[in-house]
Amino acid sequence: QPVLTQSSSASASLGSSVKLTCTLSSGHSGYVIAWHQQQPGQAPRYLMKLEGSGRYNKGSGVPDRFSGSSSGADRHLTISNLQSDDESNYYCETWDSKTRVFGGGTKLTVL
């Protein structure tokens, strides 16, 4: 089954942009993933589905500041014009025929 690898933490300044990365394991580089945001003390929120081609489809109400891109086995989430409430944990998710897999999550700090 696929494995998803994320950096444990990232930081960027208010108003700047940040690019988070989720890397698919060997043999799974073509998989579609999803990105989820979890603000402190809240349930996760679906952000987008991201294909290996770089095409992405965002969930309802997700701001234009959130975008996705892909390069090989890497799936990226870019947040532009960072706001204070973007400070959250971000998880990637994928699936195969019988299981679902989450990355370990990246804690984003907005400076």
Partner 1 sequence: EVQLLESGGGLVQPGGSLRLSCSASGFTFSSYAMGWVRQAPGKGLEWVSTISFTDGSTYYADSVKGRFTISRDNSKNTQSLQMNSLRAEDTAVYYCAKYTTVTNYWGQGTLVTVSS
Q: Which residues bind partner 1 (CB under 8 A)?
A: 32-34, 36, 38, 43-46, 49, 59, 89, 91, 93-95, 98-105
Contact 62, 78 (CB under 8 A): no
- Comparing CB distances to partner 1, the nearer of 70 and 94 is 94
CB of 13 to partner 1, least distance (A): 26
Contact 34, 46 (CB under 8 A): yes
Minimum CB separation of residue 41 from partner 1 in Å reads 10
Nearest to partner 1 of 9, 16 (CB atom): 9
Closest contact distance (angstroms) between CB of 29 and partner 1 is 17
Q: Which is nearer to partner 1, 25 or 59 (CB)?
A: 59
CA distance 27 to 42: 34
Tell me the C-alpha distance between 29 and 50, whole Å: 12
- At CA 68, angle to CA 64 and CA 69, rounded to 5? 140
